[in-house]
Structure 1
Amino acid sequence: MINYVICFGLSLLVVTIGLKLFHLGERVVTPPAKRTTSSERLSSTFDSVRPLIGFNIDAQPPHPYAPWSGGKFQMTMGIRKTQEDSWLMLDNRYREEQSLRERLLENERAGVLQCLDGSEAACRETLEHITAFLTRRFPDLFFWSPNDSNYLCNGITGAAFRVVDPLEKHPLEIAARLVMEDMNLLIQGAGPDPDEHYLRASFSMAPAGWYLQERIGWPL
């Protein structure tokens, strides 16, 4: 069994004028009236997650992020336990940010997406967990295609992605086209130290102060 860590970080939204949405071979679909049986089956992985029926993404402002604690200042990593319902969040910047992600993947792919050998299983499992969570938490926005249950529909952008083998895109790219978070996958023992975790795959839309091409493969 591969031991790995998935680090999700809030992406920095870069305001870009004149973005054009490119459909890179996805199927454009309209949402069905209700969730399919396949969607409910996959969502059972997150049975404890409360579905947000009728969630209005356009009315949801960005979620505040304040990892600081009261008292004496101490420089620490911004890590804290989160509620399972809040694992992946959406807000009214989603469409704009997805347009930017699509443009970056098309024109600056190496700068935002890196996946080293040996990370394939971790990337696929990451996509599976994201798919299971989104179809459970936001069933009106993410659902299985009524025409082909192998495709997950993004009801916000109108695109659909094949999420079972054989995939038509890299699993981490599909994941990036579904969520607003950056994703960094660290795999234990994927380097000289068997106890260390190494960055083996990443989608980072706007890393602050570092370049993905330089840091991929580094230890935690």
Structure 2
Amino acid sequence: MEGHGRRFRSSQSRGRGSRCIHLRAAGRGSRDDNGPATILHTNATRIRQMQRHNFPGFAGAWYQPQRSSHKSSPGQHTKDGLSKMFPPLQRDCVADGSPALSDTETDRPMSSQLLPIRADYRLADPSLHVFSGLSVNEIRSLGNFPDYAKLSGVPLPTAARESSLDTARPRPYRPFRWPYFQTMGKLQDFDGFFCLIFSWLDKLEPDYWIELESTYRERIAQRQGLFASHGKDILHSLPGSELACKELMEMVVQFLCARYPRLFERSDMTFVNHILGTTCDLAAAADPLRVILDNVPEDFAIMLRDEETGRYCLRAGVVCSTIGWTLSEKMGLAVAEIHEAVPDYKEKLKPSVDRFFSKMPTAAPIQRASWGLEIGEPLFLPATDPSFSGRDVPNPDVRVEDVNLRVDWQTLRRLPLSGAVVFNFKALFTPVAHFKNEPYVPALLLKILNEGKPSIMRYKGVGHVENAVRPALEMYNRHQEERGMVRRGWEPQTLDEHPFYPGWTDAHPSQASS
């Protein structure tokens, strides 16, 4: 966590209408203090620059030329082309914002040797580049806590209006979809970038990257206990993830202080958590992920690009809320290998997901949710746990009062410096009995349980509670029809309010306005 020389200054330069961050870094790819400084522009200028230089292929993505210095086995990269596919450049303009770079200079980061996936940037040759297009020297020059909002193009959140964390509740996510298509979706425009996205993905709301609520203290204590008992099954990092871990921690701290200014504050490298009454010296912290574990009740998994294959692999994370797997089991695996058990993934999703990871811009984070039905509130349930067995077998003793909807609210974003792609997710539990007063939710969930694809229902593990949940949902739906809460004869389908339900803002006014 020791920072390199802090030779960073921020200014508002008028580079063709965009804000920019100046990098004063001696060495390759920059000028000394007597000349113009290299800058990183926010999204709008980056798009214009890439359009001017006519980068081939997917809009906003760039490809490594054939002259790459990497050695690979014959035929290794000819099928999917991932080894030549990169996210949008993070460094593409000179200080005055003019398109002064020649094609050769613009190609410079592409033709340079990339920092290997297992290399620690702190010890590496400063002329090496990470796959975001930045050199190690440029990254070091930023020091600690640069302005990640400008670097990424994703604004910091607005301050939450919630007066007390003790009364704060999460938004009522009901991510039920029908018909259920496990395929890649339509083209959508994210701030000028056309990205192929899943049909059930949405653009991230910057205020809700991390969402704190009344269970904060309980969950932090639970997660710390899980780490004490299970070690690397909960928190683990592999060599080469040092930059991404530091970068993620700094982005999380910046978010917390902006979103919850009465609860968190930072002065230089001192971070204060007023909820727990703790103070952390970030400069002395041995592990950035431990800082996250001790302050954020959410999970983070860091994926880094393998410079040989172009595939994204899990290299670090703090992950407590898993059902049927652990972090250590997945460590080092590529995205497709991690999702091997997901129904239809290999047949329908793998190629599109791999390309999506390769091309995802920093300015276009996304959000989605997965769901399941659980007895109680299991947070960490590895496949070796006796409670995990028998989840496909109906439990005759279960009552609907025992069953909770578990929603794993997930976000996916690219970090601007390391180029890592980060999964963030949080488990939220809601009693199924609450659905009685949520219009259209019982009928929609009942439709999915009755007619959903068997392989997907098995994967979700709903078999052990269906015998209690189905009759209850039928009763709740009749109750809503009799009271005019829903239209009689309504054919269940994905709600317009997805991932919520009609009238949720009236039932949860504080969440709607926060």
With normalisation by structure 1, the TM-score equals 0.70
- For residues 173-192 of structure 1, what are the structure 2 equivalents within 5 Å? 173-189=290-306
Q: Measured at CA, do residues 2 and 66 of structure 1 come closer, stay the same or move farther in structure 2, by a change above 3 Å?
A: farther
Displaced runs of 4+ in structure 1, greater than 4 A? Answer: 41-48, 76-79
CA distance in 2, matches of 1:173, 1:44: 23
Q: Measured at CA, do residues 47 and 55 of structure 1 come closer, stay the same or move farther in structure 2, by a change above 3 Å?
A: farther
1:73 equivalent to 2:192? Answer no
- For residues 150-161 of structure 1, what are the structure 2 equivalents within 5 Å? 150-161=269-280
CA distance in 2, matches of 1:89, 1:67: 17
Candidates 199, 203, 209, aligned match of 2:318: 203
CA contact (8 A) 1:123 1:201 kept: yes
Residue number in structure 1 paired with 2:163 = 55
Q: Which moved more, 1:47-56 or 1:107-116?
A: 47-56
CA distance in 2, matches of 1:157, 1:113: 21
* Deviation, structure 1 residue 43: 8.9
- For residues 97-112 of structure 1, what are the structure 2 equivalents within 5 Å? 97-112=219-234
CA distance in 2, matches of 1:102, 1:119: 22
Q: Measured at CA, do residues 93 and 55 of structure 1 come closer, stay the same or move farther in structure 2, by a change above 3 Å?
A: same
Which amino acid is the alignment partner of residue 294 of structure 2?
Answer: R
* Deviation, structure 1 residue 105: 2.3
Deviation string, structure 1 residues 86-135 (Cα, Å, up to 9, x no partner): 11110101000001122122232221011000001000000010011111
CA contact (8 A) 1:43 1:133 kept: no
* Deviation, structure 1 residue 50: 1.1
SS at 2:202's partner residue? Answer: coil
* Deviation, structure 1 residue 200: 0.2
- Percent identity of paired positions between Structure 1 and Structure 2: 27
- For residues 20-35 of structure 1, what are the structure 2 equivalents within 5 Å? none
SS at 1:184's partner residue? Answer: strand
Which amino acid is the alignment partner of residue 72 of structure 1?
Answer: P
Q: Measured at CA, do residues 143 and 42 of structure 1 come closer, stay the same or move farther in structure 2, by a change above 3 Å?
A: farther
Which amino acid is the alignment partner of residue 179 of structure 1?
Answer: V
* Deviation, structure 1 residue 79: 4.2
Q: How many residues align?
A: 176
1:123 equivalent to 2:245? Answer yes
Gaps spanning 5+ residues in structure 2: where?
A: 1-128, 133-145, 184-197, 336-514
CA distance in 2, matches of 1:134, 1:208: 27
Q: Measured at CA, do residues 177 and 79 of structure 1 come closer, stay the same or move farther in structure 2, by a change above 3 Å?
A: farther
Residue number in structure 2 paired with 1:30 = none
CA contact (8 A) 1:187 1:200 kept: yes
Larger radius of gyration, structure 1 or 2? 2
Residue number in structure 1 paired with 2:385 = none
CA distance in 2, matches of 1:207, 1:140: 31
With normalisation by structure 2, the TM-score equals 0.32
Q: Measured at CA, do residues 3 and 62 of structure 1 come closer, stay the same or move farther in structure 2, by a change above 3 Å?
A: farther
- For residues 12-23 of structure 1, what are the structure 2 equivalents within 5 Å? none
SS at 2:289's partner residue? Answer: helix
CA distance in 1, matches of 2:321, 2:156: 32
Residue number in structure 2 paired with 1:85 = 207
CA distance in 2, matches of 1:113, 1:132: 22
CA distance in 2, matches of 1:3, 1:79: 25
CA distance in 1, matches of 2:286, 2:247: 15
CA contact (8 A) 2:169 2:213 kept: yes
What CA RMSD, in Å, does the superposition of the two structures yield over aligned residues? 2.6
CA distance in 2, matches of 1:217, 1:89: 28
Gaps spanning 5+ residues in structure 1: where?
A: 5-40
Q: Measured at CA, do residues 169 and 219 of structure 1 come closer, stay the same or move farther in structure 2, by a change above 3 Å?
A: same
Which amino acid is the alignment partner of residue 285 of structure 2?
Answer: E
* Deviation, structure 1 residue 53: 5.4
Q: Measured at CA, do residues 2 and 158 of structure 1 come closer, stay the same or move farther in structure 2, by a change above 3 Å?
A: farther
Which amino acid is the alignment partner of residue 63 of structure 1?
Answer: R
Residue number in structure 2 paired with 1:212 = 327
Q: Measured at CA, do residues 95 and 59 of structure 1 come closer, stay the same or move farther in structure 2, by a change above 3 Å?
A: same
